[in-house]
Amino acid sequence: MTPPEAPANGHEAGSADTPPAVSVRLETLKNRPDFLACARARKAPMPGFLLQGRDRRDDGDVTRVGFTASKKIGNAVTRNRAKRRMRALAREVIATHGRAGWDYVLVARPGATVSRDFAAMRDELAQGLGRLHAPKSRRD
């Protein structure tokens, strides 16, 4: 049964022409070699964070995400806050715009990840994912 305030078709009000977002399953990167492999792959620098991504080429249905906040970010409280914000970004943006079979790492930036507007960071992450997934341009 649908609540009375919810739209009947499952879409938001006024967006009947947009399809629902596809969601991928997220897992957390835990092993150092996976982080290092992402560091050698494609990068999309953003004002609030650095986004790194690589295609695992294993035809998996899981998207893996890692988070890094070094001591340059600040004390433990500040680093934990930065990682919490990046995890929330990943749940909102990478879950819908990420690709299965890819690994992503979000690296916190000193002074920016903790204090930057969350909506701006959400837009930056969506833009960064678009840049990572764009075909490589050949320079002649």
Q: What is the pLDDT of residues 2-33, one digit of tens each?
A: 555 554 544 444 444 444 455 678 899 999 99
Residues 81-111: pLDDT tens digits? Answer: 999 999 999 999 998 998 988 999 999 999 8
CATH class of 25-130: alpha beta
Mean pLDDT on 31-56: 94
- Please tell me the pTM assigned to this model: 0.79
- Considering only CA atoms, which of 65, 66, 74, 50 is closest in space to residue 128? 50
Average pLDDT over the chain, rounded to an integer = 84
pLDDT value for 139: 46
